[in-house]
């Protein structure tokens, strides 16, 4: 039985957790001082050895990504933090930045030092103005404390940190679209190669990392590789933030070792809302194929979730109980992807436009079983055919819901409408709940 292992979230309950004083009270910025005594290559090696994998969804080893940056090339290097958290269900980076922004700033300084970057950027989702203000203040405080700017802690290392607010586009969470947006262009994914490690921001070698990945680095420096590796599974080391939302008694962020199961997390979260049963859930946000109650014991690490046919993603577990119409939920998601499709490539742009129309008809009970076949065929023509992974995310809920709940679609068709009372699934509805 796994338990919680709060690291990043350990002091979120303290009233000043987001200040330098609050952060330092628990050893904050000690890792930085330690790191600056090592060489950059030693830090890269350490992070590599720890087995830290990207926490933004793809799970790429962070240390490897850093080591791709060519060294001694006399070019400017950049570390860009992807804080464009926008996926339905995903809610870990924003609370982390609200409650513990200095863990990110400390991680950025260490990461920049490791990849020899003297300018770093945080690309923050545009809508979260409160988070923007908090991070901005944290950066100002870090500058004032000599943690940013020239000659950090007397080490001779200089770093400028810029906070940039996006304009509200999900696609800008895709790293090359993010870079385009950061450069002032419309956010659309770039053709790769060249990869950002060779030609990223302003065509210079660039590392793009998720907030949580970078924020995890100081704890590894402070506590050591063995401490980190003691948590997690064979290939997915360490702790991470699982976000539970939806029909769950106590939603929120649960910091636990990788490889915990939903069953365990639900116990920690007080279970599915009282009087109801789990119907389906997403392991890592709306773009990861959904699971059902039969997957309660799937190990929530990259390998475990993949083996079960989905992706760990951002570990955003959205819990839906039996009051939820899966067709309706999927339609909402697909509408999101249609709205967020950047328009660059055909299958995503046109495909999501079409999928929404079909899903709307299906929810209204219009159509025949042949439409389900057509829907799956369209998903097949979209998945893996688009320029970036956005469209793969758009079709994932459709394919997976048809896999587990085909009967429910047919029920809509037979009945000529939705068999569910949408009010019953709302959290504010107590009568039906």
Partner 1 sequence: MTPEQAVTAVETVTAVIDGVEVTVPKGTLIIRAAEQLGVEIPRFCDHPLLSPAGACRQCLVDVEINGRAFPKPQASCTMPVENGMVVKTQLTSPVAAKAQEGIMEFLLINHPLDCPVCDKGGECPLQNQAMSAGRPESRFEGTKRTFEKPIHISSQVLLDRERCVLCARCTRFSNEIAGDPFITLNERGALQQVGIYENDPFESYYSGNTVQICPVGALTGTSYRFRARPFDLVSVNSACEHCASGCDLRTDIRRDKTLRRLAGDDPEVNQEWNCDKGRWAFKYLTSRERVKHPLVRGADGELHEASWPEAIAAAAAGLKGKRVGVLTGGRLTHEDAYGYSKFARVALGTNDIDFRARPHSDEERDFLAAVVTDLKTTYADIDKADQVVLVDFEPEEESPIVFLRIYRHVRKRGLAVTSNAPLSSRGSKKLNAKLIKNLSELSGLTTQSVILIGERAAETAGILSAAYEIAQSTGAKLAWIPRRAGERGALAAGAIGNLLPGNRPVADTSARVDVQSAWGVSDLPSQLGRSTSEILEALGDESLDAILLGGVDPMDISADALNKLLNTFVVSLEISHSSVTAIADVVLPVAAVVEKSGSYLDWRGVARRFDKGVDDADLRSDLRILSILADEIGKPINLPSITAAAAEIESLGAWDGAKVSFTRRAAAPASTDEFTLVSWRFLLDLGSLQQGETNLAGTAKKARAHISAATAAKLGVTEEDSVVISTDRGSIELPVSIREIADNLVWVPRNSEGSQVIPSLGFTSGAVKVAKR
Phi/psi zone of residue 4: left (φ > 0), alpha (ψ -120 to 50 degrees), beta? beta
Query: Which one, of 279, 310, 312, lies nearest residue 407 by Cα?
Result: 279
Report how far residue 124's alpha carbon sits from residue 94's, in angstroms, rounded to the nearest whole number. Answer: 9
- Minimum Å gap between C-beta 124 and partner 1 is 20
Alpha helices by DSSP H, 344-389 = 346-363, 369-382
Nearest distance, CB of residue 75 and partner 1, angstroms: 17
Q: Which stretch binds partner 1 (CB under 8 A): 27-35, 293-301, 345-353, 395-403?
A: 345-353
Cβ distance to partner 1 smaller for residue 203 or 433: 203
- The stretch near partner 1 (CB under 8 A) out of 25-33, 92-100, 373-381, 418-426 is 373-381
Q: Which is nearer to partner 1, 231 or 382 (CB)?
A: 382
Distance of closest approach, residue 166 Cβ to partner 1, in angstroms: 13
Close Cβ partners of 101 (under 8 Å, ≥ 6 residues apart): 18, 134, 135, 138
170 to 199: interface string for partner 1, x by CB under 8 A? -x--------------x----x--------
Q: Does 382 contact partner 1 by CB under 8 A?
A: yes
Restricting to residues 208-267, which ones interact with partner 1 according to CB under 8 A? none
Q: Is 127 an interacting residue with respect to partner 1 (CB under 8 A)?
A: no
Minimum Å gap between C-beta 359 and partner 1 is 11
Q: What are phi and psi of 292, to 5 degrees?
A: -125, -170
Nearest to 76 by CA among 194, 206, 209: 206
Residue 105 near residue 31 (C-beta atoms within 8 A):
no
Which of the ranges 130-138, 257-265, 308-316, 378-386 carries the binding residues for partner 1, by CB under 8 A?
378-386
Nearer to partner 1, 344 or 412 (CB): 344
Backbone φ, ψ for residue 210 (5° rounding): -75, 155
Cα→Cα distances 345→225, 303, 352, 392, 398, Å:
42, 30, 11, 13, 20
Select from 138, 345, 399, 402 the one that contacts partner 1 (CB under 8 A): 345
Cα distance between residue 176 and residue 152, in whole Å: 30
**Scanning the structure block, which residue is given the tokens 């068999």?**
419
Nearest approach in angstroms of CB 371 to partner 1 is: 9
187 burial type by CB count under 10 A (0-12 exposed, 13-18 middle, 19+ buried): buried
CB of 52 to partner 1, least distance (A): 26
Q: Are 170 and 340 in contact (CB under 8 A)?
A: yes
> Which range touches partner 1 (CB under 8 A), out of 5-13, 232-240, 343-351, 400-408?
343-351
For residue 378, state whether it binds partner 1 (rule: CB under 8 A).
Answer: yes
- Nearest Cα residue to 187 out of 70, 115, 105, 86: 86
- Position among 386, 400, 401, 425 found at the interface with partner 1 (CB under 8 A): 386
In the complex with partner 1, which residue's Cβ is closer, 164 or 338? Answer: 338
Span 349-368, contacts to partner 1 by CB under 8 A: 349-354, 357-358
| Three-state DSSP class for residue 277 | coil
The residue range among 198-206, 210-218, 248-256, 348-356 that interacts with partner 1, by the rule CB under 8 A, is: 348-356
Distance of CA 260 to the CA centre of its chain: 17
Return the number of the residue (170 or 280) whose C-beta is nearest partner 1. 170
Site residue total, partner 1 (CB under 8 A): 31
Nearest distance in Å: CB 186, partner 1: 7
Question: Dihedral of the CA atoms 129, 244, 292, 388 (nearest 10)?
Answer: 30
Q: Which residues 313-342 are close enough to bind partner 1 by CB under 8 A? A: 338-342
Inter-residue contact 326 to 362 (CB < 8 Å): no
Q: Rule CB under 8 A: which residues touch partner 1?
A: 169, 171, 186, 191, 338-347, 349-354, 357-358, 374, 378, 380-382, 384-387
């Amino acid at each position: 039985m796994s338990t919680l292992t709060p690291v990043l979230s350990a002091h979120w309950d303290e009233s000043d957790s987001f200040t330098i004083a609050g952060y330092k009270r628990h050893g904050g910025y000690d890792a930085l001082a330690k790191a600056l005594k090592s060489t950059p290559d030693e830090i890269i090696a350490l992070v590599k050895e720890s087995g830290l994998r990207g926490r933004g969804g793809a799970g790429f080893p962070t240390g490897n990504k850093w080591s791709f940056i060519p060294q001694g090339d006399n070019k400017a290097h950049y570390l860009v933090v992807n804080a464009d958290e926008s996926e339905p269900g995903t809610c870990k980076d924003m609370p982390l930045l609200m409650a513990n922004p200095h863990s990110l700033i400390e991680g950025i300084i260490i990461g920049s030092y490791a990849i020899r970057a003297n300018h770093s950027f945080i690309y923050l989702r545009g809508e979260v103005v409160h988070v923007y203000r908090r991070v901005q203040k944290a950066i100002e405080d870090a500058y004032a404390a000599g943690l940013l700017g020239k000659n950090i802690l007397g080490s001779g290392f200089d770093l400028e940190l810029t906070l940039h607010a996006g304009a509200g586009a999900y696609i800008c969470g895709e790293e090359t679209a993010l870079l385009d947006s950061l450069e002032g262009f419309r956010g659309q994914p770039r053709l790769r190669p060249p990869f950002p490690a060779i030609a990223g921001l302003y065509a210079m070698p660039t590392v793009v990392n998720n907030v949580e990945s970078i924020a995890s680095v100081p704890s590894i420096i402070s506590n050591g590789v063995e401490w980190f590796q003691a948590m997690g599974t064979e290939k997915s080391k360490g702790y991470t933030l699982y976000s539970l939302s939806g029909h769950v008694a106590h939603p929120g962020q649960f910091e636990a070792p990788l490889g915990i199961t939903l069953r365990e997390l639900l116990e920690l979260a007080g279970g599915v809302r009282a009087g109801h049963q789990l119907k389906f859930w997403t392991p890592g946000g709306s773009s990861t194929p959904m699971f059902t109650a039969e997957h309660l014991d799937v190990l929530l690490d990259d390998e475990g979730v993949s083996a079960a046919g989905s992706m760990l993603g951002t570990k955003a577990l959205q819990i839906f109980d039996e009051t939820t119409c899966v067709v309706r939920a999927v339609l909402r998601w697909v509408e999101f992807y249609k709205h967020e499709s950047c328009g660059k490539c055909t299958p995503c742009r046109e495909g999501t436009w079409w999928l929404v129309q079909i899903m709307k008809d299906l929810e209204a009970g219009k159509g025949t079983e042949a439409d389900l076949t057509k829907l799956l065929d369209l998903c097949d023509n979209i998945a893996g055919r688009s320029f970036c992974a956005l469209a793969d995310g758009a079709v994932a809920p459709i394919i997976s819901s048809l896999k587990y709940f085909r009967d429910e679609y047919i029920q809509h068709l037979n009945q000529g409408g939705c068999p569910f009372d949408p009010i019953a699934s709302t959290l504010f509805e107590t009568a039906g709940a």
